[in-house]
Structure 1
């Protein structure tokens, strides 16, 4: 029986080594980023209520969502009830609701939470910016794959939105991939 050609082994070994080196380089780059800073304190009772999603980084669970809202309600046990609403395909599209619960993981600031929509999976929810009146928020995940710009109103003044996008860029998020969420038109003064 003839011996198989040996030229494939070095090529496969080279490809495997290249893949490992690339993975190591990506890991090393990710570790060089500074830790993601959150706000110094969140009053969860003031944070509670309805928020409109102004923009987000792409998320598979929000594919083709418009008129997205998140509603938070403190529970007696210290956790927070979460109700996310998405209208599929259009502002008036069919409604999908996801219900979950969040728990504070940093009680010194209340700015780092874990949100769970399906047991046993949890996601990071870090409050990165919150204006003094609790009207606008920037929320993200420490791996910088999740990012949301939120507002108490369906629309946000352009300068405010631009400042939050700039802040997200400074914190290491890929803001070029932001999806700006369609929200209903309202009568605004």
Structure 2
């Protein structure tokens, strides 16, 4: 099944939501992201998902640094169950100059770019929160498919402190595999 039409609509929603006025201040990105260290596998632990990933299982985001400094992104997940249809979405992260590599525009289709802010990054690069000023989508990710409950609770507390509606957060089912 092709996701092109769904992705185009999702991108349009992301862009229009980002253009809406918000009562909350802009998200403050982390000071610096070491891009080579940030590359690799990130398991989605929880999210306020976009329309096309709302039933994702085993969600995995993979980042690869391109020679020009952009980031090739591949999002893989199973639809609806651990045995569901495998879905793959590819996009490009374009790092915003002067942002310490912590703010990107993620482009699935030219010319549309969705905002991507590294709002929290654990010192050892094992956990991250990706946010948006619109507070419509967020992703809590880790280098492993599962994390301790105390870490999960602390990450969700950070998401809440950013101003996100917690009733929309979905814990993403992950099989306990490495």
The TM-score, its normalising length taken from structure 2, stands at 0.84
CA contact (8 A) 2:27 2:131 kept: no
Q: Which residue of 2 aligns with 1:43?
A: 34
Count of residue correspondences: 159
Cα distance in 2 between the residues matched to 1:163 and 1:86? 25
Q: How does 1:9-88 map to 2 (within 5 A)?
A: 30=22, 32-88=23-79
Cα distance in 2 between the residues matched to 1:83 and 1:108? 23
Q: Which residue of 2 aligns with 1:94?
A: 85
- Deviation (angstroms), 1:145: 0.5
Q: Which residue of 1 aligns with 2:102?
A: 111
- 1:41-93 deviations in whole A, cap 9, x for unaligned? 00011000000000010310213211100000000011000000010111232
- 1:18-52 deviations in whole A, cap 9, x for unaligned? xxxxxxxxx77x2x322211111000110000000
Cα distance in 2 between the residues matched to 1:169 and 1:103? 27
Identify unmatched segments of 5+ residues in structure 1. 1-26
Identify unmatched segments of 5+ residues in structure 2. 1-19
Residues 1:169 and 2:165 aligned together:
no
Cα distance in 1 between the residues matched to 2:146 and 2:39? 19
The TM-score, its normalising length taken from structure 1, stands at 0.80
Pick one of 150, 161, 167 that aligns with 1:159.
150
Bigger Rg, which one: 1
Q: Which residue of 2 aligns with 1:136?
A: 127
Residues 1:182 and 2:176 aligned together:
no
Q: Higher relative CO (CA 8 A, sep ≥ 6), structure 1 or 2?
A: 2
Q: Secondary structure at the match of 2:108?
A: strand
| Root mean square deviation of aligned Cα | 1.5
Residues 1:149 and 2:146 aligned together:
no
Cα distance in 1 between the residues matched to 2:46 and 2:97? 25
